[in-house]
A = this chain, B = another copy of it.
Amino acid sequence: MTALADLSPADLAARYAQAHGAYEAFRARGLKLDMTRGKPAPEQLDLASGMLALPGNGDHTTASGEDARNYGGLQGLAEARALFGPALLGAPPEQVVVAENASLAVMHDCIVWAMLKGVPGSERPWSKEAAPAFLCPVPGYDRHFALCEEFGIRMLPVPMTPEGPDMEVVEALVADPAVKGMWCVPKYSNPSGEIYSDETVRRLAAMKAGAPDFRLFWDNAYAVHHLTPEHHAIPDILDVCKQAGNPDRAFVFASTSKITLAGAGLAFFAGSPENVRWYLARAGKRTIGPDKLNQLRHVRFLRDPAGLTAHMERQRELLAPKFSAVTEALERHLTGTDVIWSRPEGGYFVSVDAGVGTAERIVALAKGAGIGLTPAGATFPNGRDPRDAALRLAPSYPSLSEVREAAEGIALCILLAAIESERAVRAAPQQ
């Protein structure tokens, strides 16, 4: 198919008329579809329906003989740490803490404690620094950026490459002692799907940081969330940091929110022994202990690493067709345009680079056609995409047939916006 820029004026007009007609026809169907957030679908939650009656009456004794119903056990059950530590965090059980139901909350707590108390290696609390900053690979996770915004942490964007964040940029920026942290979603990155290369991980662990208390906020959100039969692996960051002589560099986060039950999963922290001591000392002021019955519930349900793997295979069977539906629709309508999109092998999003200055227009067009999209710019610090080009599509929640319809509609919106943009370029007075 001829690229839009190479079309004759008449052909461009014809394509516009065609795209506009297709959009109007879609719009006339009056659909109501939501592709805004990476929520599991009800069928995914049904996979864990057995958990709703667990641990079961009378089952409340942990492997070590404790009563899981009572207070205490700040670090979490040993059997839960053994099941999830290696699989989700690349950490031995003794370097894992089990928290409540949200890994975001664990990250939040690390930030507020760092701000008010400092972390191991800090010369002072981060809130006493002139202007603490985080490196933010973009596009990234909007809720990570919202935490920085909430607590007045400056965000320094770093471009993503197919190997992960652009390490030339990272290494230059991290020399500044004001840079205290960096957000990383190292596998099936949110939203663009990259898998950090071994080399990227090694450089992140070994790079010279200006701040003695610099931390990688390593959000391994999609550790076992594969969309293909290939189970991609990344190096265990705690090991690599230790080998690089920076044992305390990484705070590692994960959860079972997208494994078992989105609102009733388990969240985890992992780190070096020093970081774990620090975390537990802080957490011990905040709570007498976590919900150990929910930990027991998870262990009873998933049982062992093989059970976890089998469960995630069932998740993949539900999710993979939805992602295929999205990329197929994009291919069908957008081949030959300058639009590019991710073909993720895991995670929860398809990321689209729709061309400069079109993302907000596409979100508006989609809204007009009854499709809710994540606001343009949401995946950038402060919600501002300087190119206004990035879209995040979240196909997990709607049914497969709804995703097919929504993807069709979204592709039509992107196409229409691309043609509008080309027409606008041609109509603009020559500079």
A90 located at the interface, meaning its Cβ lies under 8 Å from any Cβ of chain B in the complex:
no
Q: Specify the chain B residue showing the minimal Cβ separation from A297.
A: B52
Interface mask (A257-297 → B, CB under 8 Å = 1, otherwise 0): 10001111000000000000000001001111111111000
A362 located at the interface, meaning its Cβ lies under 8 Å from any Cβ of chain B in the complex:
no
A185 located at the interface, meaning its Cβ lies under 8 Å from any Cβ of chain B in the complex:
no
Q: Is the CB of B101 within 8 A of A257?
A: no
Known: A292-B264, A293-B52. A257 touches B71 (CB 8 A): yes
Nearest Cβ on chain B to A29's Cβ, whole angstroms: 25
Q: Considering the complex, which residues of chain A in the window 22-60 have a beta carbon less than 8 Å from any beta carbon of chain B?
A: 37, 39-40, 42, 45, 48-50, 52-60
Q: Which of B60, B147, B287 contacts A285 (CB 8 A)?
A: B147
Known: A45-B69, A286-B108. A50 touches B39 (CB 8 A): no
Chain B residues lying within 8 Å of A257, measured Cβ to Cβ, are 71
Chain B residues lying within 8 Å of A101, measured Cβ to Cβ, are 100, 287, 290-291
Q: Specify the chain B residue showing the minimal Cβ separation from A292.
A: B263
6 extra interface residue pairs, beta carbon distance < 8 Å, beyond A40-B70, A53-B54: A42-B70, A48-B69, A70-B261, A100-B101, A146-B285, A263-B293
Task: Report the interface size class on chain A.
Answer: 35 or more
Query: Can you list 8 contacts pairing A with B, beta carbon distance less than 8 Å?
Result: A39-B70, A39-B72, A45-B69, A52-B59, A69-B263, A100-B101, A146-B285, A294-B294
Q: Which of B49, B102, B293 contacts A58 (CB 8 A)?
A: B49
Chain B residues lying within 8 Å of A289, measured Cβ to Cβ, are 102, 263
Q: Which of B57, B112, B116, B287 contacts A104 (CB 8 A)?
A: B287
Q: How far is the CA of A104 from the CA of B37 in the complex (A)?
A: 31
Nearest Cβ on chain B to A281's Cβ, whole angstroms: 9
Q: Is the CB of B291 within 8 A of A104?
A: no
Q: Is the CB of B293 within 8 A of A261?
A: yes
Q: Is the CB of B290 within 8 A of A263?
A: yes
Chain B residues lying within 8 Å of A286, measured Cβ to Cβ, are 102, 104-105, 108-109
Chain B residues lying within 8 Å of A146, measured Cβ to Cβ, are 285
Interface mask (A82-124 → B, CB under 8 Å = 1, otherwise 0): 0000000000000000001110110011001101110000000
Chain B residues lying within 8 Å of A261, measured Cβ to Cβ, are 69-70, 293
Q: How far is the CA of A257 from the CA of B39 in the complex (A)?
A: 30
A354 located at the interface, meaning its Cβ lies under 8 Å from any Cβ of chain B in the complex:
no
Q: How far is the CA of A285 from the CA of B145 in the complex (A)?
A: 10
Q: Is the CB of B108 within 8 A of A285?
A: yes
Q: Is the CB of A262 within 8 A of B69?
A: yes
Interface residues of A (CB under 8 A from B): 37, 39-40, 42, 45, 48-50, 52-60, 67-73, 100-102, 104-105, 108-109, 112-113, 115-117, 127, 143, 146-147, 150-151, 257, 261-264, 282, 285-294
Nearest Cβ on chain B to A58's Cβ, whole angstroms: 7
Chain B residues lying within 8 Å of A67, measured Cβ to Cβ, are 42, 45
Q: How far is the CA of A56 from the CA of B48 in the complex (A)?
A: 12
Nearest Cβ on chain B to A227's Cβ, whole angstroms: 20
Most buried by B among A55, A286, A291: A286
Nearest Cβ on chain B to A124's Cβ, whole angstroms: 12
Q: Is the CB of B50 within 8 A of A291?
A: no
Chain B residues lying within 8 Å of A60, measured Cβ to Cβ, are 45, 52
Chain B residues lying within 8 Å of A52, measured Cβ to Cβ, are 54-60, 69, 293
Chain B residues lying within 8 Å of A39, measured Cβ to Cβ, are 70-72
Chain B residues lying within 8 Å of A287, measured Cβ to Cβ, are 101-102, 104-105, 108
